[in-house]
Structure 1
Amino acid sequence: MANINLERRAEIGREKRARTRLQLMTAAKALFSKRPWESVTIDELVREAGVAKGTFYSHFNDLEELAAAVADDLINAFDAMIQPERLSISDPILRIAFGCDAFLRQSLSDRSWALLATRMARSHPRVGLLVRGRLSDDLRDALDKSPQAGLTPELGVEMIIGIVLQVAAAIGDRRFDDHHRPEALRCMLAAIGVGRRDAASIVARVARVRGSVPRDILMGGSPAGGSSSATESA
């Protein structure tokens, strides 16, 4: 009986620790969606989370470590969201366009998520490594099949990420809306050497192969207490 009680106590302790960590992560997402994570203080964070300051240090050494955890969570959730459909696409350029479209649609669905994603991607080196690797593989595959003079996978990845993050940031700031999305995809495709007619065809194909994308899968709901729904268009 004593052993059972000890085991149960340990289990309760682990559950409590997991809940507290989730509180800190949720609070961080809410604050990071409003401004750069470097400007957030630990005092603000624990106040948002409703925990004691000492509790923060039992989970993270500093805010940078917390930011890395948020980044990992963001990457893993986004990757999980798009992989089933992405892996069903054989054309590497279409896979790239699909992934970018999914990112922009999520940004339109939840603008506070867009602000968090773009700010974290720009300020923390761990954000985007998995997606960057997938992009590099897809672009390398595409360039093997159809080489573009002067374009390397490394350069192409930087151009794709740069365009998508800039558009997502504009969406988060409410300067862009859904009718900018197809043209943003066409511009991204043009940057990696796809002709305008082919780019228009690829964007139309993305609309056909795209399935339903869960709107709040990445955040478990809007971190800032609300979300904006995007109007569907091609």
Structure 2
Amino acid sequence: MAAPDRTDRRRVRTRAALMRAGQALFAHRSVDAVSIDDIVAAADVAKGSFYNHFPDKEALAQALGEEVRRGVEQLAAEVNAGLADPAERVARALCGFVRQAAAEPERARAMQRLFPAAAVPDAPMKRGVRADIAAGLKAGRFTGLSQDAAILTAVGLVQIAVARAAGPEGGAPERLGRELAFALLRGLGVEPSEAETLAARAAADLLGKGAER
């Protein structure tokens, strides 16, 4: 396979610069409040170069959204590889998102600003959460809530956890992950002692001092 030529490498670099600039700007302002001039200035590229990659800023936002969606799916798969217990999976997923938000706050803020609809149960990026909740209810691991209410509980707490971890008041990620994972498991009907054990284990593994960042 032939190596990419100089033009191709330049295109890749320009697109990456535009994506980084969009993420940085959308982390603080809505899409409507950001102009293409703002984006190209932040990316340090010519305005014409923008249109070589995106027809408008909404297309850039959509591309960032697809990147975020893939990242969400990959993160959930990585932190839960080889695990079958739905209770453990949702606790670890929440802690995984806290870890990512604490490590990349700008990316997390852009995600929440671009995708307020991600909090609804049928949002595409919540497919994994829906599957874990459905499996937990079917197996009797989760009780006391309908499937929709259980999904809303999980999604809502993840959104809160991400916003807190990415904010200036983020504090200690391990404590945040442990406490909100515990709250999530209790909300889904897991007994207190088991919820505490699962939450503490997930937080220590993914957010503790020895956790890989």
TM-score band by shorter chain is: 0.7 to 0.9
Alignment partner of 2:54 out of 50, 60, 79: 60
Q: Conserved in 1, the CA contact under 8 Å of 2:101 and 2:108?
A: yes
Q: Which residue of structure 2 aligns with residue 183 of structure 1?
A: 179
Q: Mapping of 1:184-203 within 5 angstroms?
A: 184-203=180-199
Report how far residue 130 of structure 1 moved. Answer: 5.1
Q: For residue 97 of structure 1, what is the amino acid of its counterpart?
A: A
Change (3 A) 1:124 1:96: closer
- How far apart, in 2, do the equivalents of 1:195 and 1:132 lie? 25
Q: Mapping of 1:77-226 within 5 angstroms?
A: 77-122=71-116, 129=123, 131-146=125-140, 148-152=143-147, 154-178=148-172, 179-207=175-203, 210=206, 212-214=211-213
Q: For residue 148 of structure 1, what is the amino acid of its counterpart?
A: T
- How far apart, in 1, do the equivalents of 2:88 and 2:161 lie? 19
Identity %: 25
Larger radius of gyration: 1
Q: Conserved in 2, the CA contact under 8 Å of 1:81 and 1:213?
A: no
Which runs of 5 or more residues in structure 1 are unaligned?
1-6, 215-234
Q: Conserved in 2, the CA contact under 8 Å of 1:101 and 1:185?
A: yes
Q: Conserved in 1, the CA contact under 8 Å of 2:118 and 2:126?
A: no
- How far apart, in 2, do the equivalents of 1:202 and 1:167 lie? 17
Q: Which residue of structure 2 aligns with residue 26 of structure 1?
A: 20
Q: For residue 135 of structure 2, what is the amino acid of its counterpart?
A: D
Change (3 A) 1:76 1:58: same
Report how far residue 62 of structure 1 moved. Answer: 1.5
- How far apart, in 2, do the equivalents of 1:99 and 1:110 lie? 16
Q: For residue 120 of structure 1, what is the amino acid of its counterpart?
A: L
Q: For residue 179 of structure 2, what is the amino acid of its counterpart?
A: E
TM-score by length of 1: 0.76
Bigger CA drift: 50-59 or 108-117? 108-117
Q: For residue 54 of structure 2, what is the amino acid of its counterpart?
A: F
- How far apart, in 2, do the equivalents of 1:64 and 1:208 lie? 39
Q: For residue 102 of structure 1, what is the amino acid of its counterpart?
A: G
Q: Conserved in 1, the CA contact under 8 Å of 2:101 and 2:107?
A: yes
Alignment partner of 1:76 out of 67, 70, 76: 70
Change (3 A) 1:181 1:212: closer
TM-score by length of 2: 0.82
Q: Conserved in 1, the CA contact under 8 Å of 2:73 and 2:125?
A: yes
Q: Conserved in 1, the CA contact under 8 Å of 2:94 and 2:161?
A: no
